[in-house]
Amino acid sequence: MMARKDWDTYFMDIAYMASTRSQCSRRHVGAVLVQGKKLLGTAYNGAPMGVPDCSEAGCMLVEEYELVASDGKEQVVKKQRCIRTIHAEQNLLLFTDREDREGSVVYVTDQPCWTCANMLANSGVSEIVFHRSYPKDNDKVRALMEQRGMTFRQLENYEPPAGTVSEVKN
């Protein structure tokens, strides 16, 4: 008999399923809204409706310089980021109601960036559960979550469903 999945695994699996809808070749992110174990919405990163997405028009890349620490040394590294897509967390907020979000939990495949975390902090959501790390904004996002009194946790020992994970390009 197959072991029954716990709720964290169940909802994170759905977030990974949603992420497979993304057409951005750089990053597939999925997010779901859960209220009292009830699924209230799913979203992924994508271009606005009716607008060519990354698979049709290519990614819209911007270059940024980022301070990266490695081996105890800080280095400035040039990175590319796709700005064509609305992030999964933001799409989730656009397609759900404020009332439904009060006290809810967001499961998201990737640790939210600063902008998404900032918006989630003002959205009624009270808990964020993520799987893959996003070190760039980690410090400021964690500080914000603490100030806001939100639960912020990373799923450990979690394996996404087969075939749902795309390679992340940085």
Catalytic residues: 89
* Partners of 70 in the β-ladder: 73
Q: How far is the CB of 59 from Zn ion (least distance, A)?
A: 3
Residue 62: CB minimum distance to Zn ion, A: 11
Which residues line the annotated binding site for Zn(2+)?
87, 113, 116
Task: Measure Cα distances from 19 to 6, 30, 70, 98 in Å.
Answer: 20, 4, 30, 23
CB-nearer residue toward Zn ion: 39 or 168: 168
What are the phi and psi torsion angles at 148 (to 5°)? -85, -10
- Name the β-bridge partners of 38: 35
Nearer to Zn ion, 13 or 26 (CB): 26
Nearest residue (CB) to Zn ion, 5 versus 57 = 57
Residues found near Zn ion in the complex (CB under 5 A): 24, 54, 59, 82, 84, 87, 113, 116
Sign of the C-alpha dihedral, residues 4, 9, 15, 18? Answer: negative
- E-assigned strands of 11-122? 30-35, 38-44, 61-70, 73-82, 105-110
Which residue, among 53, 161, 43, 66, has the nearest Cα to 112 in the 3D structure?
Answer: 43
- 154 contact partners, CB below 8 Å, separation of at least 6: 111, 129, 130, 131, 133
Closest distance to Zn ion from the beta carbon of 8 (Å): 21
Judged by beta carbon, residue 10 or residue 124, the one nearer Zn ion is: 124
